[in-house]
Structure 1
């Protein structure tokens, strides 16, 4: 993502930072897969929009949720890490940063791959890369 993207995301997150910082974790919230974010999310992580245009600003949290998912999967995204750090600076009390939501578990990994529509594409890419590696070795 380009610096322009970072500026746009930062402006959006700054506009909703106070609301995100005041999100309280729901002890009954359960993790789900979100197709738009391609991420694992908890339903208590986003407050309902209260003003026109606020939905698009709140939806920028998907970038953070995606990064967290890459951490859960054991393949942290260096590209998305800057947005995660930005979020931690702007709204450090956000319930999405809780350690128990960042922790890897077999159940979370299985949930992600069960619902991820990109799984077959990813598997095909991995097979292609492995084949290219074998060909370059010979």
Structure 2
């Protein structure tokens, strides 16, 4: 009889350690991640000095950021939910799970970015790119 295989981890131990070190900051700045289609705050990522972990973390968090955006737009994308649930189970104190990052002013800001993105795409299509 073979031993059961360990559960699949979507997030590497190195990435989890880096995200575990992220601390909420009331003065965190927000930007729009075009690839994820959602907002991300700088306190949700490890410091830039962490040997490129900042960039890699943002890439690995794209599904989480995209799922949060879908919640903010009241259109939950169940195809992205698994990473959100797994990260929430592993790091419930991660700043990205704070309620104000899913509703209120954040929700309004995301809609502004989505509008600008849509307008830019329409302009590109009009210009023939």
Pair in the same fold by TM > 0.5: yes
The 5 Å alignment of 1:10-89 reads 10-12=10-12, 14-47=13-46, 48=48, 50-51=50-51, 55-89=55-89
With over 3 angstroms needed to count, the CA separation of the structure-2 counterparts of 1:95 and 1:57, relative to structure 1, is: closer
User: What TM-score, normalized to structure 1?
Assistant: 0.66
With over 3 angstroms needed to count, the CA separation of the structure-2 counterparts of 1:24 and 1:112, relative to structure 1, is: same
CA contact (8 A) 2:15 2:53 kept: no
Let me know the Cα RMSD of the aligned residues. Answer: 2.8
Range with bigger deviation, 36-45 or 72-81:
36-45
| Matched residue count | 113
Gaps of 5+ in 2: 1-7, 123-129
Distance 2:51 2:118 in 1: 33
CA contact (8 A) 2:45 2:54 kept: no
Per-residue deviation, residues 21-55 of structure 1 (Å, max 9, x unmatched): 22112211243211122211112211125246774
Higher relative helix content = 1
Report which structure shows greater RCO (CA 8 Å, sep ≥6): 1
Distance 2:54 2:42 in 1: 17
CA contact (8 A) 2:22 2:44 kept: yes
Return the offset for 1:116. 2.3
Aligned residue for 1:74, secondary structure, equals: coil
Gaps of 5+ in 1: 1-6, 122-138
